[in-house]
Amino acid sequence: MSQVHTTYLRQLPAVDEVLRHPRVQTWMTQWPRSTVTAAVRQVLQGCRQTILQTTDVAALEASALSLPVILPQIQAQLEKAQAYRLQRLINATGVIVHTNLGRSLLAPTAVAHLQEVAQSYSNLEYDLQGGERGERSAHIEAYLTALTGAEAALVVGVVGLAALLAVSPLPQRPTPTATSPAEDAGAALPKANDLTLAQPAGEVLVGLTVRPAHPGHNQLLLHLLPLEGEQAAARLPVALEVAGRTITPQPCGPACRQATATLHGGETIRVVVDGPGGGTASFRLPRLPAPDGAALLALAQRRMHTLRTVSLTERLSWGAGATSARYQMEAPNHLRILTAGGAETVIIGETRYGRDTRSKPWKVDHDFPVTPAPAYVWDYFTPPVAPKVIGSQPIGGHPTRIVAFFGRSGQVPVWFRLWVDQAGLVRRGQMLAQGHFMDHAYHGFDAPTTIQPPPR
């Protein structure tokens, strides 16, 4: 989860704020308070999932998940919960006895009798002649025996077995498929011991994985993520250049391209993506094999999570545009955010203060989930996959080593680079995901910072 995701999550209204709305108060005269509260929580949870699964900042800005947008969703949820599930359909399949559509129709006389009996108590499991408890299967036993010619006990046993299989079906046999493992949607995603890097090519994220990442013959795997999603990647023309030599990559799935090349380390690999929103991604390979980066990443994790305060400047691009924000974090759960557009947010534990511009009054929201601080974008994509040290670079006069790795949150693939100094402090961080190209510059490590509620 990025800092931008956190910003939009904090903009969602709290449950108690929604429940105080006059429109919601009216609903409580129609439905129980517990039902309304459950609908509010469910809709807000859906909004949170939408934010977390959206990597396109433009889409996040357009979503405008404010009360006027959320209230109709809550009303629809309440009406849906009260609606009947079974609906009348027209059977145009040509199959008279259709299991999916309710099998055979009941005769009008049977429907009338069912309606009459269902409006009262019945002898469903009561033997009227014997005056004692009976079996519900007795009502159809005679009919099934007449139809099948089987003994009554066998008929009852078959009915019972059918009921058992309905709630506990036998395991299905695997269905044969012509799709090979290399054609899976995630075929180009990295595994342990791979070398994996990512760069944007215009609006398209290109993940490059080198396997086995040793001098000699290597497989080059490209994972392409345009803004429209993985399926749209199948239509993208892609050219690959390795050390000035052009190679034609072959499809290995909608978002996957593969090729082979002889590598020694230090080569420049260029991936040219044609079409609208395309561009060129350039990769400079480190020496091969690249040193394992697990220890450096662990050092950074330990050091960054011992900080009491830290600040960062964020630049977020999606290929066609960019935005920026500044963050201050103070342990254990204080956060201040100032966006380029002038919006401000201050979070103190469960309380959020926000305003759209400096000229607007502060709005206060309560009952928000407590977010630990400091927290970092890579914390939410674990475990790290294939961490490798890919080089060194001074940042602000501080020597750093660069560790590159891959992570996932659900089905969202993300590539990271961290510039780590000798003390384990991350001076710069980069996160690349679909439509989400983010750069963080970290500073103010344990600087005297106090984040307090704003004056009102």
Helix (H), strand (E) at residue 80: helix 67-82
Q: Does the pTM exceed 0.85?
A: no
pLDDT per residue as tens, the chain (456 positions): 466 667 777 778 888 888 888 888 888 888 888 888 888 888 888 888 877 777 666 666 666 577 778 888 888 888 887 776 667 777 766 555 555 666 567 767 777 777 777 777 888 777 777 777 766 666 765 555 554 444 444 444 443 433 333 333 333 333 333 333 334 456 889 999 999 999 999 999 999 999 999 999 999 999 999 988 888 899 899 999 998 899 989 999 999 999 999 999 999 999 999 987 899 999 999 999 999 999 999 999 999 999 999 999 999 888 777 889 999 999 999 999 998 888 899 999 989 898 888 888 998 888 777 778 999 999 988 899 999 999 999 999 999 999 999 998 777 899 999 999 999 999 999 999 988 899 999 999 999 999 999 987
Q: How far apart are CA 285 and CA 287, in angstroms?
A: 7
Same fold, 184-284 and 294-443: no
In angstroms, the Cα distances linking 215 to 120, 259, 264 are 81, 16, 5
Fold classification of 184-284 is Immunoglobulin-like (2.60.40)
Query: For the chain, which residues make up each domain, given as ranges?
Result: 3-82, 184-284, 294-443
Tell me which CATH homologous superfamily contains domain 294-443. Answer: Lipoprotein localisation LolA/LolB/LppX (2.50.20.10)
Question: Contact at 8 Å (CB) between 453 and 317?
Answer: no
* Helix residue spans in 101-219 (DSSP H): 108-118, 138-148, 152-167
Residue owning tokens 């480190």: 286
Q: Can you spell out the DSSP letters for 397-453?
A: TEEEEEEEEEEEETTEEEEEEEEEETTS-EEEEEEEETTEEEEEEEE-TT------P
